[in-house]
Structure 1
C-alpha cells in the first residue's frame, strides 16, 4: 500500500511516551496510560507503538494488515525452531490466512449455544464443590483454592474426558500452557513440555478413535461431525484443536476469575448487589473484564506499510493494541474507571479480541465466569480482602498471584 504523503510516521509524530518497566502491573501502568490517551490515541511504549483509544483499537483488531506475530512468546525467550516451536506454530492460535479461516469455520459449528448450555450442571457442581471445601473456615485464597482448580474439570467435561482422568489433564495442561507465558524459562524446559504435550496428543487421539465408532454429545464428537461443503477436520486437526482449546481456556479463566472476585470484593456494594440480583451475573463478567482484565492487550505486526488514522505504520512494526486502556476510554464509557454492575448500553468490551481472531471460546468463558461469580456472591457473604493481592506484570497473562478472602457474618 502506498501511504498518503500527509500521514505522519508513527515514530516521528511527537506521540506521548510510555516508559513503564516490563515487570509493571496494570495498576502501576494505568496512570501513565490514562495521561497518554488524553493526549493522543497512540503512544510509544517500551516495545513499540501502543494503541490506546477504543475506536482505533477496535478497528485495528479487525484489520488484516495488522497480523498476530507467530510464536512471539517463544521467540521472546530465544526459542525460534525445534519440535516445540513447530508445535506452537501449527496451533490455531498462530495460524493466519485461508487455513485459519477454514478451521475457524469448521470449529465454530461445534461452539453452538447448546454446546455450552449442556455444561451448566457440571459448572455449578464444580463451583459448589470448591466452595464446600473452604466455606466453614470463613476464609480462603481465591487463587489457590478456587480459581486455579476451576477450569480444567469443565474443559474435560466439554471434551468428553471422564472424571477419573481430570487430574491427568490438569498435570498436562500445567506444563503445556507455560509456552504461552513469559514468566517461565521455557527454553530450559522444552523436553519436559514436549513430553506432556505428546501425552496429551496421545490421549486425544484415543478419544477421537473411540468417538469415530460411537459419537456422543461432547465437543470431540461435534468436531468430528463438523462439515462444510464436504470439508472435514483431519485427525491431526482434531488433535490440535482439542489441545488448543485446553491451552486457551485454562489460564485465562483461572486468572480472570480471581481478578473479577478481587474487583467485586473491593466494592462490597457491588458484591451485595450481585448476591441480591443473580440475574446480573453476566453483566458482572462484562464489567469486571472491562475494568480489571487479565489480558490487557494483544500484539500485532504490520504486514506492509499502513496508513491508519493519519499515522504511517511501517512494515514490520510491532504494535501493542492496549485493550486495557481502550476498555476504559471515557469517550465510550461514562465514569470509565468505576466498576458498576448497573452499567447499561455499554459498547462491547475488547478483551476477547476482534476480527478473525475473536476468541472462539468467548461464550464458554462468559458462562464459566458468570456461574462462578453468581454462586460465590450467594454463598460467601460480606467478603473482606485481607493483606496484599500482588499481580503479575501487565504484559502477558496478568492477574492476582494470591487473594486472601475472609467472609461470613
Structure 2
C-alpha cells in the first residue's frame, strides 16, 4: 500500500444494503446514489466496483483473478470430485495454462466460424415461434427462451438433431453447479452422473472426428495447432463441457430480459421491426440496460492499489457491470433505453481482459437473429402480468414472462 492509498475497508465509502435474493431493479437506486459518491461501494459480500472505468480496469488486470469454484463454495463444497472437475475447467483457469488454451480455442471462435450457425439459428427460433403463435400467447421463458440455445450448441458441436433432447437433460442436471435453488451437496451424484454421460458422448464424437473431420466446432478444436501445440482429447472434452455450461443459461436469460425491455418500450420494438438492421444494436443496448448477467467476481491475488484505494490480497470483489453499464460519466442519459444509440462505449457484460467471453460472437448472433425474427413475426407482442426476476448476484433475468402474441 502506498502512503497516499487507503484500504477499501478503511476508506469512507458508500454502503450498499440489499438482500442476496433482491432483483437488480430493486437495488438499482442504491447503485446510482453510491456511484455518484465513489467508484466503489461496500456491499453485503465485499467491495463492489460501480464505475465503468474502474470496472474495465479490474476486468483487464490479471492481478485480479477468478476465485476457484466460487459457486461450489457457496454450497459448502470445497473439495472432492466435483470441485476438482469444475476448478480444472477453462472457466476457472488462470496463468500460462489458461493463456495457452484461450490462444488455441480462439482460432475456432472466429466471426466467420460463428456465421456458419446462421441458418440453424433461424430454423430453431422459427420453430419455437410457430408453436407459440399457434396459441396466440406464451410464457416466453419456458416456451421460447429456455429451449432455444441447446439445439444451437448441439449443432455447433456437431451432434445430430435427434440427440438435442438428451443434451438438454444433461444440461439440466449439470447446471445445478451454478444454481442457488438446490442442495448441491445432495445433488452432487446426479451432477457427476450427467457429466460422465456427457463426457462419454463427447469422447465418442472426438474419436469419430479424428477418423473423419467435418464442419463443426469439435473438428475445428481438433484441427487447430500453434507451433506444434495441439489440444488433447481431455482438453477438447473439457472445452465442450465449458461451451455447454457457459453458453446455455446465459443466452436463455438474456433473450428473455431483452424481449421484456423491448416489449416494455413499444416504440423501440417497432423500430426493430421496421429496421431489422438495428438488431445487433438492440442486443448491445438490451445487454447494457437490462442485462441478465449483472456482475462478475474477482479476488485480489496480491495487495493492489488503484488510484487512492488499495484492495488487500485475498479481497473478494464484485465487479458490478450492471451499475458500470449505466455510468452517467460514460453513457449519455444512461437510464434511457435506446437501440439507436450511436457508437456507445463497449458494454462490460461479456467481461474483459483474459477472461473476455470466448463465445461473445455466437451469443450476439443468437440474440440478434432471435430478436429480429421475433420482431418481424410477432410485431404486436406485449407482456401481460408480473415479471419477477432472479437475484442480482449470480445469473439474473426473468423467472417467467407471460406474453400475448397477436399474430
- TM-score (normalised: structure 2): 0.99
Instruction: Give unmatched runs, 5+ long, in structure 1.
Output: none
Show CA shifts across 1:147-197 (max 9, x none): 000000000000000001011001001111220232222111000000000
1:363 alignment partner in structure 2: 361
1:85 alignment partner in structure 2: 83
Partner Cα separation in structure 2 for residue 336 and residue 38 of structure 1: 13
* Equivalent in 96, 108, 128 of residue 94 of structure 2: 96
* Equivalent in 28, 32, 35 of residue 33 of structure 2: 35
2:311 alignment partner in structure 1: 313
Range that drifts further, 109-118 or 258-267: 109-118
Partner Cα separation in structure 1 for residue 393 and residue 304 of structure 2: 25
Paired residues, number: 407
CA RMSD of aligned residues (A): 0.8
**SS at the partner of 2:331?**
coil
Alpha-carbon offset, residue 293 of structure 1: 0.5
**SS at the partner of 2:91?**
coil
Aligned ranges 1:101-120 → 2 under 5 Å: 101-120=99-118
Alpha-carbon offset, residue 384 of structure 1: 1.8
* Equivalent in 168, 184, 189 of residue 186 of structure 1: 184
1:62 alignment partner in structure 2: 60
Alpha-carbon offset, residue 136 of structure 1: 2.6
Range that drifts further, 374-383 or 258-267: 374-383
**SS at the partner of 2:350?**
coil
* Equivalent in 275, 283, 286 of residue 284 of structure 2: 286
2:347 alignment partner in structure 1: 349
- TM-score (normalised: structure 1): 0.99
Alpha-carbon offset, residue 117 of structure 1: 0.8
Partner Cα separation in structure 2 for residue 161 and residue 252 of structure 1: 21
User: Are positions 1:340 and 2:345 aligned together?
Assistant: no
Q: Which runs of 4+ in 1 moved over 6 A?
A: none
Aligned ranges 1:324-403 → 2 under 5 Å: 324-403=322-401
Alpha-carbon offset, residue 346 of structure 1: 0.2
Alpha-carbon offset, residue 312 of structure 1: 1.0
**SS at the partner of 1:13?**
coil
* Equivalent in 395, 404, 407 of residue 406 of structure 1: 404
Alpha-carbon offset, residue 337 of structure 1: 0.6
Instruction: Give unmatched runs, 5+ long, in structure 2.
Output: none
Alpha-carbon offset, residue 364 of structure 1: 0.1
Show CA shifts across 1:271-307 (max 9, x none): 0110000000000000000000111111110111111
**SS at the partner of 1:338?**
coil
**SS at the partner of 2:333?**
coil
Range that drifts further, 153-162 or 114-123: 114-123
**SS at the partner of 1:263?**
helix
Alpha-carbon offset, residue 407 of structure 1: 2.5
Partner Cα separation in structure 2 for residue 194 and residue 262 of structure 1: 35
1:210 alignment partner in structure 2: 208
User: Are positions 1:136 and 2:134 aligned together?
Assistant: yes
Alpha-carbon offset, residue 114 of structure 1: 2.0
Alpha-carbon offset, residue 263 of structure 1: 0.6
Alpha-carbon offset, residue 14 of structure 1: 0.8
Aligned ranges 1:251-262 → 2 under 5 Å: 251-262=249-260
Alpha-carbon offset, residue 201 of structure 1: 0.1
